[in-house]
């Protein structure tokens, strides 16, 4: 992606609940998070990023998506990054989100974060920390593989319509 080309909404890959996607230069990855965690695996030099929408720390079940469980999403994200051209020795894991959407005492967001941190070294990757995210509600995360940037915007009571996505894309991929 050249420095003068702004990524358009049509180039954004929106990752659904439990989903996982790979992005390269010229694309951005995005997800809407609540108590869920955005798992980002990046090779900054090769401009490859993977975003998984992690819902639970671990578990079993079919049809929940490859990013649903943290213990499975971490190695799967690593494998997808390598298949896309990333150097496995250069992969960095960062996380976003993990907010508490309901006061049920289950602390799913915190448990997801802990599961990702535990699975990262076992998958041969470095943990680069938590980027951010609302702790009391939802946020949107956008990852730009070309620049290695991760933008997080708290939702509050705002809408996430096409105009809101365009504002986020303009922020993360300025012309």
Q: Does 3 fall in a domain?
A: no
Pairwise pLDDT comparison (101 vs 120), residue with the higher score: 120
What CATH number does the domain containing 52 carry?
A: 3.30.1330.200
* pLDDT at residue 160, rounded to an integer: 61
Mean pLDDT score, 84-97: 95
Distance CA 67, CA 64 (A): 8
Q: In what order do the strands lie in the sheet with 149-154?
A: 12-14, 28-33, 139-144, 149-154
Residue 32 pLDDT grade (very low, low, confident, very high; cuts 50, 70, 90): confident
Indicate whether 5 pLDDT > 70. Answer: no
Distance CA 81, CA 158 (A): 33
Q: Does 89 fall in a domain?
A: yes
Q: What is the mean pLDDT of the chain?
A: 83
Report the domain count for the chain.
1
Distance CA 133, CA 98 (A): 7
Q: Does 94 fall in a domain?
A: yes
Structure-block tokens of residue 29: 């990855």
Q: CA triplet 102, 103, 107: central angle to 5 degrees? A: 85
Indicate whether 1 pLDDT > 50. Answer: no
Q: Does 160 fall in a domain?
A: yes
Mean pLDDT score, 96-111: 71
Q: Does 147 fall in a domain?
A: yes
Q: Does 1 fall in a domain?
A: no
* pLDDT at residue 98, rounded to an integer: 77
- CB-count burial class (<10 Å; 0-12, 13-18, 19+) for 60: exposed
Q: Does 4 fall in a domain?
A: no
Cβ-Cβ contacts under 8 Å for 124 (sequence gap 6 or more): 78, 88, 89, 91
User: What is the chain's length?
Assistant: 175
Domain containing 96 equals: 9-172
Indicate whether 73 pLDDT > 80. Answer: yes
Q: Does 30 fall in a domain?
A: yes
Indicate whether 36 pLDDT > 90. Answer: no
């Amino acid at each position: 992606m050249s420095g003068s080309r702004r990524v358009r909404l049509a180039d954004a890959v929106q990752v659904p609940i439990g989903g996982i996607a790979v992005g390269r230069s010229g694309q951005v990855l995005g997800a809407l998070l609540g108590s869920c965690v955005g798992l980002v695996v990046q090779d900054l030099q090769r401009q490859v990023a993977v975003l998984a929408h992690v819902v639970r720390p671990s578990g079993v079940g079919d049809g929940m998506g490859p990013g649903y469980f943290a213990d499975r999403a971490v190695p799967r994200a690593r494998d997808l990054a390598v298949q896309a051209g990333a150097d496995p020795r250069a992969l960095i894991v960062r996380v976003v989100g993990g907010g508490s959407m309901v006061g049920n005492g289950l602390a799913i967001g915190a448990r997801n974060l802990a599961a990702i941190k535990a699975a990262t070294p076992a998958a041969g990757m470095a943990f680069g920390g938590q980027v951010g995210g609302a702790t009391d509600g939802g946020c949107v995360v956008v990852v730009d593989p070309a620049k290695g940037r991760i933008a997080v915007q708290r939702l509050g009571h705002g809408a996430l319509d096409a105009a809101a996505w365009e504002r986020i894309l303009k922020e993360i991929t300025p012309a």
